[in-house]
Amino acid sequence: MMIRAAKARSYQYVAITDHSVGRGVANGLTLERLKEHIAELRRLEAEIGGIKVLCGSEVDIRADGTMDYPDEVLAELDWVIGSVHSAMGRDSETVTARVIRAMHNPYVTVIGHLSTRLIGERRPLNADYEAIFRAAAETGTAMEINASPERLDIKDAHIYRCRDLGVRMVISSDAHTTERLDNQRYGIGIARRGWCEAKDILNTLPVDDFKSFLKIPKSQRARGVGSHA
């Protein structure tokens, strides 16, 4: 049980983010199953106690930059990760516009494993990362530091640039098993290589501060280009 395992690690909160319906290979949730999933997470949060459970989803960014769930569904979620899982071989201009369009969605909290790389298996997306990071700063979209040893995405140089631009970042274990929650140490290591401190990483916030942040409309979360403090 992922929630109990997170609580055992003294986490104050955890986001559960199953894939959206477009990821059939990952048993993505239909709208009906998503509603049932949210209800179950709310029940488990009350039953287990002592840990905040964020009801989320890793939602596919379609080839045209729209999201795999409609906005009225995304609005019901606490945490929305927008991720590219298909059409990865497009040209840089197309890929960049795709990701930036997703970041302009008011319900997309964070972009997951931005480059899509798998170390030793798949090359990163051909994209204008500078333009993407600037758009992230302007739209108040966070960037995931994916701590899976197979990904370590974004890389340290990108983390450093995000930090300079005032882009908020989140370290995610990308855990699909309870044991993989321990991936976090790899994400912490790469964040340090990008010169990050705790204040640069959203999910170092205490639970009440984190919940308060999520209540801020996304348009008001932007720190602005060059506003690192």
Hey, what are 131's tokens?
A: 């333009």
Measure the CA–CA gap between 128 and 125, rounded to whole angstroms.
9
Q: Where are the alpha helices (DSSP H) in 91-195?
A: 92-103, 129-139, 156-165, 184-193
* pTM of the predicted structure, to 2 decimals: 0.93
Instruction: Determine whether domain 57-213 maps to CATH 3.30.70.3270.
Output: no
- For tokens 């964020």, what's the residue? 54
Give residue for tokens 């005032």: 166
Under-50 pLDDT residues of the chain: 224-229
DSSP state of 92: H
Predicted pLDDT at 21? 80
pLDDT for the residue 219: 86
Q: Where are the domains of the chain?
A: 57-213
**Beta carbons of 185 and 226 less than 8 angstroms apart:** no
